[in-house]
Amino acid sequence: MNRTEILYDLPLFPLNEVLFPQMPLQLRIFEERYLIMITQCLQQNLPFGVVLIEEGSETEGGCKPYKVGCLANIVRRENLENGQMNILAAGDQRFRLLEYHETEHRYLAGCVELVKDIEVTSARLQPLQREVSELFYSYLQMLAERMGEEAPNTMLPEDPALLSYCIAALAIPSLTDKQDLLEAVNPQTRLETERLWLKLQMAGLKQIVPTVLPINLNTKEWQQYCQTARN
């Protein structure tokens, strides 16, 4: 029987954003407590945890995070003249928050257990994976045509789990829907949910011309994803 891996005193960064495994995250660090936290992570070569805020505010303190988040590894930093910092991080494994507390530097830290997907055979997922990939490409093409833009030259991952994270990160606009997908431990469930969402969105696009793209085709996150090597 596999034992659940526990991490103690993991630094936590509550955000109004959901990070998925192997997806990029760009942050500007300006609060003193988070400058201290990120500096310590860099010095010790340690990850931090990204958690979606359930209640409260990230700047006012006292926020309540959701229980499932994602580890973030810092892959690049840029020190700014004003003492602030830009970082690029990449999502790693998911975790479940067991308990958390405020540290002496006023950022949160917690005890977490790592979350893994249940095992589903690739053969079982391949037809669904192909269908969802084709739907996503069609969705992008339809969006681009309706907005009078060219569709981006994209290449989706072949791994079913990574595909589900990619679509959740780039296409699903609702933070609570993203959080539900992050918490799901069955890649088939995530892909089936995304298949339904894509079909509903495509049906809606046939009726109206979107004024706001559910996917911004020019975001730095998208460009970083396309340029970043994927496992």
Ranges in the chain, pLDDT < 70 = 1-3, 58-61, 207-231
Q: Quick check: helix, strand or coil at residue 29?
A: strand
Chain segment 120-130, per-residue pLDDT in tens: 888 889 999 99
Cα–Cα dist 212/148, whole Å: 13
Chain segment 17-74, per-residue pLDDT in tens: 999 999 999 999 999 999 999 999 999 999 999 999 999 876 666 789 999 999 999 9
Considering the domain boundaries, does residue 62 fall inside one?
yes
Cα–Cα dist 188/196, whole Å: 12
pLDDT at position 219, please?
A: 53
Where in the sequence is the domain holding 48, given as residue range(s)? Answer: 6-115
pLDDT at position 147, please?
A: 77
pLDDT at position 222, please?
A: 47
Q: For Cα atoms 14, 58, 168, give the angle at the middle one, nearest 5 degrees.
A: 45
CATH number for 75: 2.30.130.40
- Under a CB-based contact definition with an 8 Å cutoff, are residues 9 and 40 in contact? no
Domain's final residue, options 81, 115, 149: 115
- Under a CB-based contact definition with an 8 Å cutoff, are residues 133 and 145 in contact? no
Whether residue 28 is found in the same domain as residue 110: yes
State whether the Cα torsion 192-214-55-61 is positive or negative: positive
Domain's final residue, options 115, 148, 167: 115
pLDDT at position 124, please?
A: 87
Considering the domain boundaries, does residue 1 fall inside one?
no
Whether residue 89 is found in the same domain as residue 185: no
* Phi, psi (degrees; rounded to nearest 5) at 72: -130, 125
Whether residue 55 is found in the same domain as residue 13: yes
Whether residue 110 is found in the same domain as residue 127: no
- Under a CB-based contact definition with an 8 Å cutoff, are residues 149 and 139 in contact? no
Cα–Cα dist 98/5, whole Å: 12
pLDDT at position 59, please?
A: 66
Domain's final residue, options 64, 97, 115: 115
Q: For Cα atoms 38, 41, 46, give the angle at the middle one, nearest 5 degrees.
A: 145
Whether residue 163 is found in the same domain as residue 86: no
Whether residue 110 is found in the same domain as residue 126: no
Whether residue 111 is found in the same domain as residue 17: yes
